[in-house]
Amino acid sequence: MVEKYWKLIVLIVMITLGIGTFYVTSAKTVTTYPEFGITHVNGDKAKIEEVIIQADYFRQNINQAALITTNNTLYRSEFSYVERLEGAFREPTIKRWEKDYKSFMRGKRGWLDSFYEDENYLVFGDIKINYNNVDASMKDSKLYVARLDKKTGEATSFEVKLPNSGEYYFANLQDIQFVDGKLKLIAMNGMENGGTAVHMYTLDMKSKKLIGDERIIGPEALPDNQNTEIMMLGQEFMTHKPNEYAVFRKVVIDETYSKEGDYQRQELANELIAYHYASGKTEQLKLPKKLEEQGQVSLFDGAHLYYTTPNEKGIDVIVYSITNQKIKNNYLVAIQVGANEELPYMTVKDDVLYVMKRMVDEENGATIQAFDAMTGTSVYEGKIGLKEENKAVDEFQLYLSQLQFDE
């Protein structure tokens, strides 16, 4: 019997051993990545509880993305197949919605820009781009909105024609807000005959109709060598929250080629335009001279602009209130930034300014600090580094790229 089948038996044994060993050992190697943690130095620990640090771990030729929280480190390969499939690194807020409102979230994959959430409602908006079969224009495109009443679980949705859509060659949804029973969708539209326009679409939830199409920033007639770049300020994790203002940076750029063929790029104008959601008023911000000279605004929290400049003592922060059109405060965040060191990651959320150094290696940890965004008072300080039991790991680098918030 065995004699007759020996080849088959050898093959089957080889298969079981080869493939079996590989998957058993690879399940074990996962645990060889070191654990990082945030150790408390001083301040209020609650400020850091929601924080998830997105990081990349490098050692020799290994490169693994990881998420670090106060309790643990999760490497990409530690996520299950299904988690990786769903997107292990997507925004924690979207993960939470998909868990809590599974049915409403169906077919609504995307970025936080497309959502709005307050205590009562979860709202989703989308510009459905449809290209016309005959002339390939966008004229059949639609605005789609859906709203979930979180208490009753009742969902309503409708779509309307995107007005004048034949004039655009692209339309990107920038943000959606819910003000006084009306949905406000901000879109950036590329005009077929040149330029970019920012539109505010207002939709009434009761009548399920489009009740307003307002052009906040219009396309400008510019010479051939000039063009405008418009950007909406804000951070990914705050666009779904109720915000007071939407702020745009508009830059007019002059591009020329000299006779020698050298490319020259010059900023002719650089202005900030604010839209107030509640009143529907648009205005160009008249910044004080001090800020004009500062150059680009660093952060925006929905109502304030933050200008940050590193100097030898730390990072100088100027807080500008859009409502009062005045500088509200100017303070120094005492954090040492070396001459060759990359600037720390900074972000503002719920009136807290987070400052995080970006590099961790076998010798140095990084710091994460939180300050009262209005006054600059330190509210938390922590150290990011290897956990005690992993201190033996040789040469590595951990690059901290940004923060997520798991609310």
> Any contact of residue 393 with other proteins (CB under 8 A)?
no
Residue closer to other proteins by CB (options 23, 263) is 23
> Any contact of residue 26 with other proteins (CB under 8 A)?
yes
Q: Among residues 85, 136, 339, 392, which is the contact residue for other proteins, using CB under 8 A? A: 85
> Any contact of residue 99 with other proteins (CB under 8 A)?
no
Residue closer to other proteins by CB (options 85, 134) is 85
| Whether 236 contacts 178, CB under 8 Å | no
Residue closer to other proteins by CB (options 84, 326) is 84
Q: Among residues 2, 31, 61, 286, which is the contact residue for other proteins, using CB under 8 A? A: 61
> Any contact of residue 157 with other proteins (CB under 8 A)?
no
> Any contact of residue 12 with other proteins (CB under 8 A)?
yes
Residue closer to other proteins by CB (options 83, 254) is 83
Could you tell me the smallest distance in angstroms from the CB atom of residue 153 to other proteins? 18
Q: Given the rule CB under 8 A, which of 18-26, 178-186, 231-239, 370-378 is the region that contacts other proteins?
A: 18-26
Encoded tokens for 187: 């879109």
Residue closer to other proteins by CB (options 62, 231) is 62
Place of tokens 């304030």: 304
Size of the site for other proteins (CB under 8 A): 32
> Any contact of residue 221 with other proteins (CB under 8 A)?
no
Characterize the bridge pairing of strands 142-149 and 121-128: antiparallel
Encoded tokens for 293: 């000279």
CA distances, 51 to each of 91, 106, 221, 386 (Å): 12, 27, 45, 17
Q: Among residues 2, 3, 8, 261, which is the contact residue for other proteins, using CB under 8 A? A: 8
Which among 149, 203, 211 is positioned nearest to 181, based on CA atoms? 203
Q: Among residues 56, 98, 271, 316, which is the contact residue for other proteins, using CB under 8 A? A: 98
Residue closer to other proteins by CB (options 48, 122) is 122
Q: Among residues 56, 58, 65, 86, which is the contact residue for other proteins, using CB under 8 A? A: 86
> Any contact of residue 131 with other proteins (CB under 8 A)?
no
Question: Using a CB cutoff of 8 Å and minimum separation of 24, what contacts does 216-223 make?
Answer: 216/186, 216/248, 216/273, 216/275, 216/282, 217/248, 217/250, 217/273, 217/282, 219/191, 219/194, 219/195, 220/195, 220/252, 221/195, 222/194, 222/195, 222/252
Residue closer to other proteins by CB (options 28, 281) is 28
User: Residue 348 contacts by C-beta under 8 Å, 6 or more apart in sequence?
Assistant: 235, 299, 300, 301, 304, 306, 354, 373
CA distances, 328 to each of 276, 299, 323, 348 (Å): 19, 15, 10, 16
Q: Among residues 2, 3, 7, 260, which is the contact residue for other proteins, using CB under 8 A? A: 7
Binding mask 316-335 for other proteins (x = CB under 8 A): --------------------
Could you tell me the smallest distance in angstroms from the CB atom of residue 8 to other proteins? 5
Q: Given the rule CB under 8 A, which of 21-29, 35-43, 242-250, 260-268 is the region that contacts other proteins?
A: 21-29
Residues interacting with other proteins, by CB under 8 A? 4-5, 7-8, 11-12, 14-19, 21-23, 26, 29, 32, 60-63, 77, 80-82, 85-86, 98, 106-107, 109
